[in-house]
């Protein structure tokens, strides 16, 4: 079994005496949304703590971001498991250990199956760089740019079995006019970070996590 867990005894400063929601972030790549959420928690803009990073790619830069915030990292490689159910069962055990209330997917490049969906019903969310249901899947920003849309954006949504499916929570529109692909990516990423933090705050306010 190739599972590595890096733990830490340092806690983030907080002045809020109410119980904090324990968040696990699933990521496979760069992790800029991971860092945005971690910053919001560290600065007490969210009454929450990023308790765990779950990463299926040991070379992902998000692992370095987690170390900077002294956040435990659970590394797990799907190729070492016979079935997806076995893989997700292993993840679920560590989520239970950290008393996770909310799972945020942030560039996690795998569909979630029934093992996690049933256990965390209504408590798994994702962010996608388009105005869903348009431009699902990989390279959504490039898809929108090449299609020639005048308006694209960012969506947060609850997660179901489908690719970028599930009930929409929030959307923010972004102009795709008069820009290069790189400029559009910059516009989208600037919106993503604030939207994800605002979505978590909305769930804490309107839903019982």
Nearest 5°: phi and psi at 152? -130, -155
Residue 118 CB partners (closer than 8 Å, separation 6+): none
Edge-to-edge strands of the sheet including 151-158?
Answer: 3-6, 73-76, 48-55, 21-27, 102-105, 124-128, 151-158, 168-175
Asked if 39 is an active-site residue, the reply is no
Distances (CA, A) of 43 to 15, 16, 39, 69, 190: 10, 11, 6, 12, 19
DSSP labels, 125-194: EEEESSSTTSS-STTHHHHHHHHT-SEEEEEEEE--SSTT-S-EEEEEEEE-SS--HHHHHHHHHHHHHH
- With residue 118 as reference, give the H or E element that holds it: helix 114-119
Active-site residue, from 9, 128, 189, 201? 128
Nearest 5°: phi and psi at 157? -155, 155
Distances (CA, A) of 87 to 15, 78, 95, 99: 37, 6, 13, 19
Active-site annotation, residues: 128
């Amino acid at each position: 079994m190739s599972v590595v867990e890096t733990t830490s005894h340092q806690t983030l400063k907080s002045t809020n005496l109410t119980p904090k929601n324990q968040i696990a972030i699933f990521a496979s790549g760069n992790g800029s949304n991971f860092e945005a959420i971690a910053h919001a928690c560290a600065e007490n803009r969210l009454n929450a703590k990023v308790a765990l990073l779950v990463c299926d790619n040991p070379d992902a830069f998000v692992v370095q971001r987690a170390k900077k915030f002294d956040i435990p990292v659970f590394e797990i490689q799907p190729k070492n498991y016979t079935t997806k159910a076995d893989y997700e069962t292993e993840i679920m055990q560590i989520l239970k250990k950290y008393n996770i209330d909310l799972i945020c997917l942030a560039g996690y490049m795998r569909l979630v199956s029934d093992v996690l969906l049933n256990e965390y019903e209504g408590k798994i969310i994702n962010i996608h760089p388009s105005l869903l249901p348009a431009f699902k899947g990989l390279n959504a920003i490039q898809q929108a740019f090449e299609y020639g849309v005048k308006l694209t954006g960012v969506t947060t949504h609850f997660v179901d079995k489908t690719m970028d499916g599930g009930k929409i929570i929030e959307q923010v529109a972004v102009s795709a006019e008069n820009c290069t692909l790189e400029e559009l990516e910059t516009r989208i990423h600037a919106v993503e970070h604030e939207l994800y933090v605002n979505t978590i705050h909305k769930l804490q306010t309107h839903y019982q996590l």
